[in-house]
Structure formats: structure tokens, C-alpha cells
Amino acid sequence: FFDLFTDFSGYVEFFLLQDLVDGDKIRFFLPSDGFTRPASPLDVDSYEEYMNQSMAFVQARNERISRWATSHQRDKTATYSAT
């Protein structure tokens, strides 16, 4: 699968997931302890933390997608005709 993107960085760049990585480390929405705890929040406090981190990611990615779309728009003045 990653052959399509050359490497993990290419995958991250293609899908605009830069807000989920910090250098060569993945940013988790909850503290990670080596995958020994359940992936879902265990209590109200951890749920709120997960929710806040998720919403921050969604907002940051939406802004990144908007910037990407704006920089890749076709010339709005061009006219297109059906043939």
C-alpha cells in the first residue's frame, strides 16, 4: 500500500494528515503507553480529552484542506464549453 506513496511521509502528505504527526512520531488523542490500555477513553475526563484532541485535529485538517484547495483551484476566469 505504501508503495503508492513511497513512504509514510508521502502517505501523510497525500491525505493531508500532517496534524497527526510530529516529526517521526504519531500524535495520539490520548496518552499512549505502548498499546497496553484500551484505545477508547476509560472515564469522563479521558473522554473529554479525546473529544478536545479530535475536534482540534478536525479543525486543523479542515483548514489545511481549505488552503490546499485554494492553492490548487483552476483559473476562475477560464470558460469551459461542452463538446
Inter-residue contact 29 to 53 (CB < 8 Å): yes
Inter-residue contact 28 to 49 (CB < 8 Å): no
pLDDT digits (tens, 9 = 90+) for 11-64: 899 999 999 998 888 888 888 777 888 878 889 999 999 999 999 999 999 999
Strand-pair partners of 21 = 26
Tell me, yes or no, if the pTM score tops 0.75: no
Residue 28 carries which DSSP code? P
The predicted pLDDT at position 78 comes to 54
The predicted pLDDT at position 48 comes to 95
